[in-house]
A and B are shown apart, each in its own frame.
Chain A
């Protein structure tokens, strides 16, 4: 039971906003020591964990090309383009992206989106461009709100789309685990089909929140303007 202290290290560390790398390292060492692992075994676990999870860092190979096209005005062009589509507000645009992201993920095309390859170069500049057209220059909190929601549209779409695709890791984990542990013979397609109701709920809930984002931004922008006037007077 004492090993749960390692979880406490994580919770307290994140709550105090200490450097996450140190928090995670400390929690790992605490868990290992209480769990009775030798120092060499703990070091081995750090090495094996790092080597075995390099795939999550591969997104960095997109950075040179993304940086290059940004240098030549990609974000400005994205803003110009969205400026012509007057019906596209920030919220509507992100809702459309949520639908595309979830739909393509459900077909197994999970690498179409992602924060590095889609949100930073395309989705966020368009969402911010739509807001600029409506409100003029954006205050920091409005910018932060748009960034947070742009990232969320990508993540929610991915999570609740990919599980509808048969050959995705989480479905294989479910069938693999319960088949070997309990001697069942689950069909991957059944698991995938039963992911659809939740997928629809996710699309509805987050989609509605994205549509409501426009009103939230309206309110924030109006407040910002009022504040700016007060300062001016």
Chain B
């Protein structure tokens, strides 16, 4: 069986190799701290396997993670001088390779789709799934990237096998610590839950609940989902809290709404919140870093004018179809 942990180790090895490159990169003014950042990150990915399997203490990884946050706060990782081709060289290469350049880029979605749609359901001889259950997408992305890299190497024949590592580092150094912000936010969600932030917000919502007005209750559920999601960065965290406070007791029990409609649209109202929040870093801040944007809130600014009318649509749809 193909395990997802293998691909976390692949990520870990990638980060460690980056650290090794960075420490030798004299053009990077912050090379020691930057190498420490990527190195600790790489080791944390491997150590995480033992944490998930309960074979090693979590607190040690917790210290490493807080160390990463402090390094980020101190301005690490920094960037070295880019060693890549000039725009003129790239023009010449584009003329030479033409549309073949798209081939490696297209291998990724095609292979990932094969894994997600087909291999995810394939069983090996003893009745077990070929791919670890629930992880087909991640495994697919990992395999697809390796295959695409192989295709790219054969097609483009770079002078040294280290070229893709240097190019990968170029992109990773642009992303910087934003790369692991989504994981920090997942941790925050965990701590929020353990310390009762959810129940506290639920209690606040209780005070806002209007008596007897259906449209007000629908609006409260949808807007509550969106606002809670903006705070927590994840509609999944908002759903149980808002549903326990409003969705179930008011909309389903008191107003006799159809559960499937109420809950489906309620979750989508939460997604409108996800479009607006830096707390959903993997959807909003990481793309800004990947595209080398000056304004890290650029994608959010492009999405808010869609999210607001869409939230209104959700309120209307739920009001019309659920009751």
Contacts and interface: CB of A to CB of B under 8 A. Distances in A.
Query: Which 5 A-B residue pairs are closest in the complex by CB-CB distance?
Result: A35-B195, A67-B167, A49-B187, A73-B94, A47-B58
B273 to A, nearest CB: 11
17 contacts: A10-B279, A25-B66, A50-B65, A52-B190, A61-B145, A69-B104, A74-B102, A74-B105, A77-B98, A77-B99, A77-B102, A120-B290, A151-B284, A155-B287, A173-B239, A191-B260, A209-B305
Interface string A143-178: 011011111101110011001000001110110011
B205 interface: no
Interface string B121-143: 00000000000000101101110
A1 B200 contact: yes
Given A48-B51, A67-B168, A72 B97 contact: yes
Interface stretch (B6-14, B25-33, B208-216): B6-14
B183 to A, nearest CB: 5
Contacts of A222: none
B112 A53 contact: no
A42 B62 contact: yes
Provide the main secondary structure of the chain A interface: helix
B104 A50 contact: no
Interface in B270-289: 271, 274-275, 278-279, 281-288
Interface string B177-196: 11111111111111110111
Contacts of A6: 191-192, 195, 197
B151 to A, nearest CB: 8
A34 B156 CA distance: 56
A99 B59 CA distance: 45
Contact of A48 (B58, B142, B259, B306): B58
B236 interface: yes
B293 A144 contact: yes
Interface residues of B, number: 151
A76 to B, nearest CB: 4
Contacts of B91: 73, 76
A87 B231 CA distance: 41
Contact of B231 (A7, A19, A22): A7
A181 interface: yes
B162 to A, nearest CB: 10
A63 interface: yes
Given A50-B186, A73-B89, 11 more contacts: A3-B196, A3-B197, A25-B184, A37-B194, A54-B45, A65-B105, A68-B156, A76-B91, A122-B102, A156-B275, A184-B259
Contact of B60 (A37, A47, A53, A56): A47
Contacts of B201: 4, 7
A181 B68 CA distance: 38
A177 to B, nearest CB: 6
Interface string B284-321: 11111011011100110111011001100110010001
A5 B61 CA distance: 26
A170 B195 CA distance: 24
Give the residue among A121, A148, A170 with the most B Cβ atoms within 10 A: A148
Interface in A1-37: 1, 3-4, 6-7, 10-11, 14, 19-22, 24-25, 27-28, 31-32, 34-37
A83 B52 CA distance: 50
A143 B236 CA distance: 34
B51 A51 contact: yes
Interface of A: 1, 3-4, 6-7, 10-11, 14, 19-22, 24-25, 27-28, 31-32, 34-37, 40-78, 80-81, 104, 107-113, 115-122, 124, 140, 144-145, 147-152, 154-156, 159-160, 163, 169-171, 173-174, 177-178, 181-182, 184, 186-187, 190-195, 197-198, 201-202, 205-206, 209
A120 B15 CA distance: 21
B23 interface: no
A59 to B, nearest CB: 7
B226 interface: no
B298 A147 contact: yes
A116 to B, nearest CB: 6
Nearest to B268: A198
B94 to A, nearest CB: 3
A112 B141 CA distance: 9
B145 A197 contact: no
A73 B280 CA distance: 32
B109 interface: yes
A91 B145 CA distance: 29
A58 B64 CA distance: 19
A64 B60 contact: no
B200 A3 contact: yes
B2 interface: no
A168 to B, nearest CB: 10
B263 A49 contact: no
Between B14, B146, B302, the greatest number of chain A beta carbons within 10 A of the residue's beta carbon is seen for: B302
